[in-house]
Amino acid sequence: MPLHVTDYAWTQTESTVYINVPLKGAKAGNVDIMLTDDYLKVHFPPYLFEAFLFEPVDEDKSSAKVGNGVAIFSLPKRTNKLWDHLTIATNDKETKREIRERALEKHQQKLSSESRHKAEKQQAEKKYALETMMKLEKKERDRIQQMKDAEREKTTAELAAWQLRQRQDVQPDLHQRDGLNQQTGSSVRRETGPAAARKVQSDAKSKKKQAELPPPRVRGNIQITFTPRVFPTALRESHVAEEEEWLQKQAEARRAVSADVEEARDLTEEERNPDWLKEKGDKCFGKGDYLGAVNAYSLAIRINSKIPALYSNRAACHLQLRNLHKAIEDASRALELLTPAVAANAAARARASVRRGSAFCQLQLYAEGLQDYEAALKIHPHHEALQADAQRIREIIQGSAAAPDSHRNT
């Protein structure tokens, strides 16, 4: 059973209630908070603070600050008056159970609404980015088409001007050639006859060919530009920094080798490789040799304590061996290493959460186990086995089903 926190402190004004809950050394990332208008829960395993509030508060305007070993809550009251007590003055378990169930249902509805609003916002952002991209591409196409049209008009004008110059140059030459033919014709007839006439005709053809040659081309440079991208790559717009941090942690984990094990003379080259030891542990687990698998994983952890899969797999072995507290410890360590939460480690986080949740349930800590199963369901919301297990745990918590001797190990 969880350990209830009793050394909390609270103060109030006519409009606000302030609550200080000591976290007893827990990290801020391991603190789970649930607040409704009449219920407050702060869970940091194995400790639990639960308050059935004396009067309703405004949960939308409430705030919480977690750090320096304490969680501080500011809860604006719905009615401006001083309370006689922080919590309701009743020990009726049925009343508290109804408040707890109502708060859990309202909290789940709030999470679902926030998820839906987030999805709608992301869809709107994607639509806006797509429309912006299409507008930019159309603008760029229009600009390129205008450049092509202007270049075509310029070339057409230059060609027309050249043709006009050619016609103007050819006409005077024809007149001069006709006069020359008349003059040389009589001279040829007087002087040399047909030979002189052929020479004159050859000179005239040579001048005509020179006149028909086009002018040399004008050299120039063609400028090429590319359409700029103004929106991030799909599905990665908001997780680039986290994924880079995760990849860096993975690379550092592969280089983190313990010096004392590295220098041990009684280990073979293969036994100094954590990947080889992990594969050996996986084979032992598949054969049902859970103690052998634990030994392989433990040696791999001594060599490299930064690989989360080693802790998660050893937690699975401890579940089979009924070492439940050790399973919780290993699964928690795996979840600490599987940060930041990105798509690349989502499946590993789900496995570690289910293994820790199963261990909690076998210790009859169903509230803690349900939280881990719900964390796994956030990653795999359509997993039927996880949905069934989570519903079974809810029924046990609500008292509608008898607690089994052991819970299924997923």
| Tens of pLDDT, residues 279-298 | 999 999 999 999 999 999 99
Asked if residue 261 has pLDDT above 60, the reply is no
User: Side chain identity at 203, as an amino acid letter?
Assistant: D
pLDDT more than 90, % of the chain = 30
Q: In 3D, which of 8, 110, 3, 11 has the Cα closest to residue 59?
A: 110
pLDDT in tens, 356-395: 999 999 999 999 999 999 999 999 999 999 999 999 999 9
Question: pLDDT at position 194, please?
Answer: 59
Question: pLDDT at position 334, please?
Answer: 92
Pairing of β 47-52 and β 3-4? parallel
pLDDT more than 70, % of the chain = 80
Asked if residue 239 has pLDDT above 90, the reply is no
Q: In 3D, which of 309, 223, 96 has the Cα closest to residue 296?
A: 309
Asked if residue 231 has pLDDT above 70, the reply is no
pLDDT in tens, 329-343: 999 999 999 988 888
Question: pLDDT at position 230, please?
Answer: 46
Asked if residue 224 has pLDDT above 90, the reply is no
pLDDT in tens, 91-107: 777 777 888 888 888 88
Structure tokens at 84: 């006689």
**Higher local confidence (pLDDT), 120 or 220:** 120
Instruction: For 337-348, give the secondary structure using H, E and C.
Output: HCCCCCHHHHHH
How far apart, in whole angstroms, are the C-alpha atoms of residue 317 and residue 330?
10
Element (H, E) at 236: none
Asked if residue 16 has pLDDT above 50, the reply is yes
| Pick from 245-254, 315-324, 379-388: least confident | 245-254
**In sequence order, what are the residues at sequence separation of 6 or more whose Cβ sits closer than 8 angstroms to the Cβ of residue 251?**
none
Question: Which domains, from first to last, does the chain contain?
Answer: 3-89 (2.60.40.790), 240-256+306-398 (1.25.40.10)
Question: pLDDT at position 237, please?
Answer: 52
Average pLDDT for the chain: 81
The answer to whether 202 and 210 have CB atoms below 8 angstroms apart is no
Question: pLDDT at position 336, please?
Answer: 92
**HSE-up (13 A, CA, CB side) for residue 143:** 10
Q: What is the pTM of this model?
A: 0.42
